[in-house]
Structure 1
């Protein structure tokens, strides 16, 4: 624990090297060896499927309270627009599946009542945000109970709390606790549905290298907050509903993705059985439409029901994005033929498939051979299930890092990708991913081996 007189927060021009949005204050590393910081960070995240990282943070990323709050405020506003945009594509689930060109693998795990499907689709979300020349830019929305962030933010935050608390337990920063906010969401959900406060956490240890700690952390916290909770492998999920009424689980967390389970050969039939027998797993399968990058393309182009204020919000926080097909669209007052425009403006655009994880199915134009880019654009335009989006040149902030084997921490300019978590519409902490060695490109921990941290407000 740090002493109260320790200088925790530094001010000065080096605090933010890339954009004034980051502010001019940051948190200095705690007065312990880098090896101690690394050992504590590794210990908290152990056995959760999180990979080794050569560069780990030596302090949390600190934002001004106004910037920290802005990420959540805009996330909530844009999520509402994303939801409305996705649901308007067709009046039924079947119509939306066709409109989005969803693969056959996604034509499952819907509940029978469409209102329930739509009502609980956006319970859990995390957009990906970079800070561009004009401030925050929302690159995509991840809407799923299986998104990364809750366990990672909880684990990083636990270390920073231990290292920075003074003798009275006071901290030089504040942050939302993702587990606490999510427990509150489930309490509210159980009350709304008039079911017992019992939460089924559905996942598979096969998706975590065989360990269950990733799920155990969550169920143990739920239990500490007055929620009966149990981790279920899919083969055991029948026990959540095929039992006496007082032992049934009316709600649960859907902590898996269909593609991941398909790759592992895990059958989803038990999940459909649970849904059919009254176990509501959130977010519902309708969240797939909200997560689709096509939704951002539709939203960026503008919807007829949007107010002037909503259009202004979209224009400010979303980079120019279009669903790619052989058609005309607009850019400001300019009318353009989309496919030729995308081919000719390779260096300023990114091509993304509608569904993808960990940076897969993404091509950055400036890093792609011109001939390959043209072929990819023309091919994607034929299917209509991809987007082109303005490339946002990320701005940087300064962070202290602890390299594996180093005797001292060092500072680096990083371009973080922020992921504010929203559970039931409430702020729940911010995940940050970054390259600590100056590397640029698609930033994901599992896909491109970046580093991660949590974000706090000062």
Structure 2
């Protein structure tokens, strides 16, 4: 087991975890310059105002950076297999997962294609606990946050830290370069022209299109043809001469978000039915469900000893909540009673949810609130999971009025992005004042950054 320790940086004693390493980059420009550059890069991408900003990237040892992607790839493979084996058909999986009726749409007719390209875009949420990385959940969706946001932060750090020769004091994986390579490989595999449709809506980004324009410009400057489509314009991706069609695209929306905004998904189904494959496919919803984490944690009959060891090492104890008995270490326990009796050890999460919503931390609830949440949760639609006390690293932080960065011990949630299985950068979120808890930029007002390797 890795033990918590302190490390010295200059005259400052820094509490943290050895997994984060010893190296910390200093701020590379005056505070006003850093603030202006960071806010300029993320302008008009649907981000809320962040009063606390990082003054440098989060630095990780190369071994830790590599471990994030190695473990992510191994677990994503297990997540995919666990989700697909719940039932032999899509209708069976919808029933097994208790999916709402709204999710029973936008499937590709060819089931092999549907399942083959479900996991193209993934980002787990990882915290560093006493024993190292723990994967709290897997986000599997073309609409997940991370690639564009991390790219924007990396652009700032790249400009600030580059030497006169262009060398950087750190390494990183470019999210948008990985996105291009993913689509280049998909086009070759499917034997289609390198023309990519990015499907989304400015209505989901505060009315601006810059979130999509950043990717479109990158694609078009790196050997592929790309275009942003609002759903109302999506027919132009397939109802046109063959040489102008977009046979492949990124599905950058979620059904719940578009339902909330009143956006019709019928044009998406029409595009799918007419040969425009949008990844990740709708089957990604099963992979992203937190129930899949419960299935893996409890173990599946087909898992090898090595696969069980990976799950034991990287996943917190997680169970699908229902009135039954299960294992806790080497003990057999009544699940519901165990959960009620151990509020401070556990977290309750609904199977579907984003931005930290539908999550109850036992230690932040009263016993009465906890018992009510547990007993009213519908059977087999929520999970309970060990609360992982997150360990910290030190990062220079800038508030709006700071003349100099302040070193803060933060507890980051790390988001290693995988695009077509390729490492695509590490998106990070944290509370700039050092708090822990449910971390979300959109839902909880946290700050964001990216992690690099040194």
TM-score (structure 1 length as normaliser): 0.96
How do 1:130-279 residues align onto structure 2 when only pairs under 5 Å count?
130-279=127-276
CA offsets 1:337-359 (integer angstroms, 9 cap, x no match):
10000000001000000000000
State the distance in 2 between where 1:92 and 1:299 align: 20
Distance (Å, rounded) in 1 between the aligned partners of 2:380 and 2:373 = 12
Q: What is the rounded CA distance, in whole Å, between the counterparts of 1:389 and 1:84 in structure 2?
A: 21
1:25 corresponds to which residue?
A: 23
Name the counterpart of 1:6.
none
CA contact (8 A) 2:234 2:267 kept: yes
Please, which runs of 5 or more residues in structure 1 have no aligned partner?
Answer: 1-9
Contact 2:53 2:447 in 1 (8 A): yes
Contact 1:12 1:25 survives alignment (8 Å): no
Give secondary structure in 2 for the equivalent of 1:383. Answer: coil
1:36-55: CA deviation from partner (whole Å, max 9, x where unpaired): 10100011111111111111
Q: Relative to structure 1, is the Cα distance of residues 211 and 374 closer, same or farther in structure 2, using a 3 angstrom cutoff?
A: same
Using the alignment, how far apart are the partners of 1:359 and 1:169 within structure 2? 39
Contact 2:348 2:362 in 1 (8 A): yes
Deviation of 1:438 (Å): 2.5
Give 2:433's aligned residue.
437
Q: Secondary structure at the match of 1:48?
A: coil
3-state SS, counterpart of residue 143 of structure 2: coil
Give a deviation string over 1:230-288, Cα, whole Å, max 9, x none. Answer: 00000000000001111111100000111111110000000000000010000000000
Partner Cα separation in structure 1 for residue 295 and residue 238 of structure 2: 39
CA RMSD of aligned residues (A): 1.1
What residue is the counterpart of 1:328 in the other structure? 325
Provide the rounded CA distance (Å) in 2 between the counterparts of 1:20 and 1:283. 36
Counterpart check, 1:407 vs 2:407: no
**1:183-225 C-alpha deviation (Å, 9 max, x unpaired):** 0000110111111000000000001111111101111111111
| Distance in 2 between residues matched to 1:14 and 1:312, nearest whole Å | 38
Task: Give 1:383 shift.
Answer: 2.9
Task: Give the whole-Å Cα distance in 2 for the aligned partners of 1:12 and 1:266.
Answer: 54
Residue number in structure 1 paired with 2:4: none
Residue 107 of structure 1, aligned match among 104, 107, 120 = 104
Quote the offset at 1:369 in angstroms.
1.4
Counterpart residue number, 2:379: 383
Q: Corresponding residue for 1:5?
A: none
User: Please, what TM-score do these two structures have when normalized by structure 2?
Assistant: 0.97
Question: Structure 1 residues 160 and 187 mapped into 2: Cα distance closer, same or farther (>3 Å)?
Answer: same
Say whether residues 1:447 and 2:447 are aligned partners. no
Take 1:63 and 1:16, find their aligned partners in 2: how far apart are those partners? Answer: 15
Structure 2 unaligned regions, length at least 5:
1-7
Whether 1:58 aligns to 2:55 is yes
Check whether the contact 1:349–1:364 (CA below 8 A) recurs between aligned residues: yes
Structure 2 residue 279 is the aligned partner of structure 1 residue 282: yes
For 1:336 and 1:47, locate their aligned partners in 2 and report how far apart those are by CA, in whole Å.
50
Counterpart among 360, 365, 372 of residue 363 in structure 1: 360
1:68 and 2:65 aligned = yes
In 1, Cα distance between equivalents of 2:307 and 2:10: 36
Quick one: structure 1 residues 14 and 318, their matched pair in 2 at CA, closer, same or farther if it must change by over 3 Å? farther
Deviation at 1:13, TM superposition (A): 9.3
1:456 matched to 2:436? The reply is no
Equivalents in 1 of 2:333, 2:112: separation in Å? 39
Deviation at 1:14, TM superposition (A): 5.5
Cα 1:155–1:248, aligned 2, differ >3 Å: closer, same or farther? Answer: same
Confirm or deny: 8 A CA contact 1:132 1:394 kept in the other structure.
yes
In structure 1, distance between residues paired with 2:151 and 2:331: 46
Equivalent position of 2:416 in the other structure: 420
8 Å CA contact 2:79–2:292 kept in 1: the answer is yes
